[in-house]
Amino acid sequence: MTAVVRLLVSWWLLSLISALVSAIPIFPAAPHILARKTDPVISHSANGSVIILDPSTQQTIPQGPGTDGSGLGFSLPAIVWIVFLLAIGAPLALAGIRGWRCTTGVAIGLAVIVCSWAAIINSVNQVGISDILLTLIVLALGFLGLVVGVFEFSRVIAMTLLCLIGGLSFGMRITLLKTNLLFSSLGLNWLIIVVFGVAGGLLLIWTNRIAMLIACANAGTFLMSLGVDLIFNKQSGLSFGLRSLFDSNDNHLAYFIERTYRPTLSTIIILIASLVLTPAFAFAQHLLFKQPFTRRGPPLSDDDLCLNYPTEDLSANRATAFFSGIWDGAKLKMSTSRFSV
């Protein structure tokens, strides 16, 4: 039964990686979306508003601002995101290599959040949904991913996801440094981002520790930079830039035609600072935390397994050991797993 559960969860995690790739706009379910974003049929009404026409049917496509969940100004959704980004980003950048199961849980949680957020903003109609509802849905799904990520069977996939996320986040910051993104073509921007993402994933095969150090620092500094930018520039800074990268919804074309991503000086400074601090945080973690990312003790002895005391109830001790082991795996004293990297 345990093997079946592990296989099912492993299949789900592999599907999550596929969904993470599918969330990238250069791999859309409908390739015509990119063509419409670069060459839409545009007209203007008498009052000057933009009208988008379907090039194949010449029918009007209903338009609306949609939603990205970040709210307006310092509204409740914005505050929730700021707290979340800083609360997750700072520990990840400062001590991600030390977190072990906490870090693997965060990795899968972040992957779920990215995939679900991209899926929702690209599937809603012109009316959209409220920012607070989108925020609650995305964070709830992310919490479920976090719970899955703390278990041993998801460790390798969680490490892979974190390395991919770290590389992607580095590439995103590079493309967001320039007005209207690094290149005028959305596909070229995502090509740069994907190259960094793949590099992060391949680095894990070459050297686990260096890959995880860089991934933790990359993901952590990216989250912190987004949180800080939300404080200073609210929804017109990195938040809008990320939406420009991810949002390929037909119902939002007019919104992006009327608005252009123009990073302010403070946004550029935040981005550059986060890029410069990434190797610094990675090296600092390397110096501070000498233990390997996966910390598992020797196999359990007969005394530990209580073979001589079959009637003793150790359920409370096992629960305590599990939760303490989420932070320090050596306390669990687990046997070597076939999933070891």
At residue 315, the pLDDT reads 53
Model-level pTM?
0.77
- Give the residue-averaged pLDDT of 136-145: 95
- Give the residue-averaged pLDDT of 124-149: 91
**pLDDT(44) > 70:** no
At residue 196, the pLDDT reads 96
State the chain's mean pLDDT as an integer: 79
At residue 46, the pLDDT reads 61
| Range name among 22-26, 147-151, 242-246 with the lowest pLDDT average | 22-26
Locate the domains of the chain by residue range: 2-288, 296-341
pLDDT confidence band for 37 (50 / 70 / 90): very low
**pLDDT(35) > 50:** no
For 199-229, the pLDDT digits (tens) are 999 999 988 899 999 999 999 999 999 999 9
pLDDT greater at residue 49 or residue 315: 49
In 165-304, DSSP assigns E strands to none
- Give the residue-averaged pLDDT of 11-35: 47
- Give the residue-averaged pLDDT of 69-93: 93
Tell me how crowded residue 60 is: count the other CB atoms within 10 A of its CB.
12
**pLDDT(28) > 50:** no
At residue 79, the pLDDT reads 95
At residue 324, the pLDDT reads 55
How far is the C-alpha of 202 from the C-alpha of 51, rounded, in Å? 44
Percent of the chain with pLDDT over 70: 69
Widest pairwise Cα distance in the chain: 87
- Judging by DSSP bridges, how do beta strands 41-44 and 50-53 pair with one another? antiparallel
How far is the C-alpha of 246 from the C-alpha of 23, rounded, in Å? 8
Minimal CA–CA distance to 288: which of 94, 17, 26? Answer: 94
| The Cα angle at residue 331 between residues 328 and 333, in degrees rounded to 5 | 120
- Give the residue-averaged pLDDT of 113-133: 89
pLDDT greater at residue 67 or residue 267: 267
C-alpha distances in angstroms, 338 versus 69, 152, 156, 163?
A: 40, 11, 11, 21
At residue 258, the pLDDT reads 77
How far is the C-alpha of 321 from the C-alpha of 315, rounded, in Å? 10
At residue 339, the pLDDT reads 31
176 touches 268 (CB < 8 A): no
pLDDT confidence band for 338 (50 / 70 / 90): very low
For 144-199, the pLDDT digits (tens) are 999 999 888 888 999 999 999 999 999 999 999 998 888 888 889 999 999 999 99
